[in-house]
Amino acid sequence: MGEPDDLSFVQTLVNCSQLSVLECGSNRFGGSLPRFLGNLSTEITVIDFQQNKITGTIPTELFNLINLQRLGLLDNELTGHLPLEIENLSKLEVFSCSNNHLIGDIPYSLGNLSRLSGLYMHNNSFEGAIPSSIGECTYLLYLSLSENNLSGPVSSHLFHASMLSELYLDQNHLQGVFPVEICQLRNLVVLDITRNAFSGKVPSSLASCIDLLELQMGENFFTGSIPQSFQYLTSIQHLNLSHNRLSGQIPDFLSNFSLLGLDVSFNNLEGEVPRRGVFTNISAVTTLGNKKLCGGIPEIHLPKCSTNTTLARGSKRRGRLSVAVTLIIAVASLVVGVSIISAIYFLMCIRNKKNKLSQGSLLNLKEPFSKVSYNMLLKATDRFSEANLIGAGGFGSVYKGVLDPENSMVVAIKVISLEQKGARKSFMAECEALKNIRHRNLLKIVTACSSTDFQGNDFKALIYEFMPNGNLRQWIHIEQHTKPLSLLQRLKIAIDVACALDYLHNSCDVPIIHCDLKPSNILLDSDMVAHVGDFGLATFHSDARTYNSNSVAVKGTIGYAAPEYGLGSVVSKEGDMYSYGILLIEMMSTIYSTNRMFEGDLDLHKYAKSALSDQLTEIIDPKLFDDNVVASSGSQYVALARYDCYVKCVWSVIDIGVKCSVESPQDRMRIEDTIRGLKITQEMFLKELSVVEAMHF
């Protein structure tokens, strides 16, 4: 093999009119790609020549095969340009030409490949800018442009490809400020921009990409501090900020993450290194090259912190307070005079304002939204300070605020990021969905604001009832709570969410489809009652058919969105049921639906279905047993009986989750049957558990 005429045999296939797949990968074929490839049957959908020794250029005739869905040319020795004629392959879903010697610009026409889901072009010699047109590939999940000679800034238009899950731009010559519009990639799991020339601050908007597992930003020219907003990247496992020009302290919140690797080496960081979490694992953390760091565990051999350094985190705040006190004293005489006048005016206004806030805050959501002003929200959140930031999502940031100081009216204020594509539509969708619905398990909207800020820019915000116990995702995935959710609590939450879904689907005048049901959208009040929130993607059932195959962005989150949505199907009640089924499985297993173990055809549904038959204990969240079973008193027989009781209950819940998330929409469990099944499971669990506990006496 490896001869110039190795591919001559392909000519014998020209007359095969029904040929649909040509797999020639992982051989040692040499020679060049023959031009007569273009004479193969136009019915062909897959051509694979990867991992050979093919040389020469890519023949333009190859792109006559207009029904190609997958074209694999990676791991060869191809040279020359990528022909512009690639735009003819309008049905192409996956294209790979990585690990070759291709040169020139990346064709702008790639943006016309509207069905493209995977584009792999790394390790070539492509140059010039990244075509912004790639952002038009709304189905794109994987984009790899690493190890080329690409240069210039990254266009924010690239992030219009909002389905992107993995983005690799490392080892190029890209430069400029990295676009804050990265927050539009709500499904992003991996971002690698290592070894470029990006400058400016690390974009705090990255905190909106809450599913990030891997963030690689090393060897650039980033300045400023590590953003406080990164505290919401709670899924992160690998974080590399090394070889930049970052300053300030290492945030203590990184100690709370389940990091497997953290590299902040060779920056200008200072202060004390935390001593908890990942910072106790010297093989997982690298802090070299930061001359002003101190403390940490003894094994990292940093100098001891002085008393002033140790107290630095608190002293900065006290320093600011001291300055404020000094200023207050300096102007006290003026304030006294002004305050007397202000107090009189305030007392005159407070009566009217009190009525507006206490009676008018239950919003009749019709434009214009005039119940609260921008200035009121600015004051309620201390000028939208990071200290009051409690969450970040695809279309905005959420702040805790006190809207009515006299009555201590604590609310959650979702400020819409209007510069993001689809944000205005999301705002209106949420208003429409929530204005006429009331249910104990739906997040209560208090009011809304549609106004302008002090610079005259449009400003929109939604004000919700504050949920003091955060969201479900924090409870099942993040080790920040001293006591994990018990099985009974999870069962109750599952029933709460199902009741909310039943109300939306069956009790509204016009059924509402949520479209984005997932743990981060399930909020918990002070009594741990679940409330379904974030209706930014919701649609009325009567409007569902208006969402065609071009409306990918409104169909939910990868891992939770129904598989038929990816094929262009309209949103449906059955789509919500799929999301709910995945939610149930995740609640019992704490396995992310986007876990890297799920490759190829394997997903959380199939994994759980397989576990039901013979390995259920391997999928169950072990924290369900820690306090309730293992540590319980009683005989070994009682302990085994209690354990069996728990396993049977979890098996039943996961079984319902599997039945809700089957591939065929018409075969999925109905919400009414789901509620009935969960309540029966709850009753049986309590009954059997009471019998087991009676064995003590």
* Catalytic residue set: 516
- Helix pair angle (312-330, 332-359), 10° resolution: 110
Under a CB-based contact definition with an 8 Å cutoff, are residues 684 and 491 in contact? Answer: no
Q: Which residue matches tokens 């584009």?
A: 119
Which segments of 331-408 does DSSP mark as H helices, in order?
332-359, 374-380
CA distance 241 to 159: 22
* Short-list 58, 55, 50, 43, CA closest to 13: 43
* Short-list 54, 76, 72, 89, CA closest to 124: 76
CA distance 143 to 240: 20
Under a CB-based contact definition with an 8 Å cutoff, are residues 570 and 563 in contact? Answer: no
CA distance 478 to 217: 24
Structural element, H or E, at residue 81: strand 79-81
CA distance 442 to 366: 20
| Angle (nearest 5°) at CA 540 between 537 and 541 | 120
Q: Which residue matches tokens 């509402």?
A: 512
CA distance 206 to 209: 6
CA distance 186 to 164: 8
Cβ neighbours of 543 (radius 10 Å): 14
